Structure 1
Amino acid sequence: MVQTPHQDMPPVVYVVDDDDALRDSLTWLIRSADYEVASYAAADACVCAFRDDRPACLLLDVRMPGMSGLELQEALRLRAASVPIIFITGHGDVPMAVRALKAGAFDFVEKPFDDGVVLARIQAAIDLHRERLAERAHRESLLDRWRILTPRERQTLRKVAQGLQNKMIAHDLDISQKTVEVHRHNGLEKMACHSAADLARMLMTLGDAAQDDAP
């Protein structure tokens, strides 16, 4: 079940590292910058507690006993989580970090790291997550509106988004032009849309969901 995003909530930084001293040091650093911190010694504990509904980022050790950082990244990917991940790497871990980047990680920092660099990357990651949450909320709002349309209103609006005039839509759907006008008016009103161009952008955002006529 998709969680309702709350992109205006205070951000949280998830710190996942089996090194107690490093984890405590990072927690202190991040809290000094007024971020909330959720700290975990094991990746599987983070997976159980993680929520993708508020601005956040993960600061994640690439090598850990049990579930590794790369395995945690994959677990979150399978859950369609949008949170950016910053990997912490030690000497010799750069190839693993490159692999993580190719799998969608936001960035990686090498030990020993500069505090200012870490905080700057955290802020950039949180800003990106805010954007992703806002985009997800926008799409879910559009999808809610699309779902209340009748199948015929959806068919009509897809034709409108293609730039077809009412006469051509009536011909294609084998209905009267007056009926097209009614479906067009009602559909645009339900979608809170005022132009074919805006409607086209909405349908692009919805993607395949806009091709589904199911209730």
Structure 2
Amino acid sequence: MAENEIFILEDDLTTRAMLRVVLEKAGYQPVFFADGEALVAKSRHASPACILLDLCLPGISGLDVLGQLTDRTCPAPILMVSGQGDIPTAVRALRIGAADFVEKPFSPADLVARIESAGAGQPAHSANPLDHFKQSRGLTRRECEVLDHLIAGSSSKVIARKLGISPRTIEDHRARILQKAGVKTTAQLSIMAFKGPQALKDLPAAFGRRTVH
């Protein structure tokens, strides 16, 4: 493993230049790739300290590349980077195997901290972190059903229609789930369910924490 190499899939030249300055200053060696296929091919023979994947790319998406890397049991921690704070997409990335989901714009210090945190190799709570979360928080069967729909991005009205109960009842369930989880928003709940309480301090602006520019 190259302890200081960071594989990066990013098509924006301005962002590339910024990442090069930030990472080299932090002691890392950024290695940029033009497309996902090239990165996946390189990862078959080399294991960097970390991989940064932009979510929105021409052709194959960052999530598709993430899936290919995790299918090949890539040992390097993978961070998804996106300019769109989309909760369902962030949850999907974490489900596929991303170590973190970083929203643009981010501060240099925050990015480096997230890379170092991912590289620390914090163990997962269980093979299925969502199941662990449900059990550890003592959620009822109905609350588990509501949680599944909430983290998929469904509104209270949509969930109510699917479960055959009123939107007001869904809101009551949501409030109890948030209380049991010890968080205030559905965004925080979604990330916590997959990453644990420690992840909340690193949340970007769109997920309930103010981003430092």
Distance (Å, rounded) in 2 between the aligned partners of 1:126 and 1:31: 17
C-alpha contact 2:7 2:48 (8 A) present in aligned 1 = no
Q: What is the aligned-residue RMSD (CA, Å)?
A: 2.3
User: Residue 30 of structure 2: SS of its match in structure 1?
Assistant: strand
2:107 to 95, 104, 114: 114
The two structures have a TM-score, normalised by structure 1, of 0.52
The alpha carbon displacement at 1:107 in A equals: 0.5
Bigger Cα Rg: 1
C-alpha contact 1:27 1:39 (8 A) present in aligned 2 = no
Q: Which runs of 4+ in 1 moved over 3 A?
A: 51-55
Look up the equivalent residue of 1:35 and give its one-letter code.
Y
Q: Which runs of 5+ in 2 are unaligned?
A: 124-213
Look up the equivalent residue of 2:24 and give its one-letter code.
R
2:116 to 123, 135, 159: 123
- The reply on whether 1:105 has 2:119 as its aligned counterpart is no
Q: Which runs of 5+ in 1 are unaligned?
A: 1-5, 132-215
The corresponding residue for 2:176 is none
Judged with a 3 Å threshold, the aligned counterparts in structure 2 of structure 1 residues 86 and 21 are, in CA distance, closer, same or farther, namely same
User: Residue 74 of structure 2: SS of its match in structure 1?
Assistant: coil
- The reply on whether 1:22 has 2:15 as its aligned counterpart is yes
Give 1:30-179 correspondences, 5 Å limit. Answer: 30-51=23-44, 54-128=47-121
The corresponding residue for 1:138 is none
The two structures have a TM-score, normalised by structure 2, of 0.53
The corresponding residue for 2:180 is none
User: CA-to-partner distance for each residue in 1:146-192, whole Å, 9 max, x for gaps?
Assistant: xxxxxxxxxxxxxxxxxxxxxxxxxxxxxxxxxxxxxxxxxxxxxxx
User: Residue 10 of structure 1: SS of its match in structure 2?
Assistant: strand
Question: How many residues get paired?
Answer: 124
Distance (Å, rounded) in 2 between the aligned partners of 1:25 and 1:53: 24
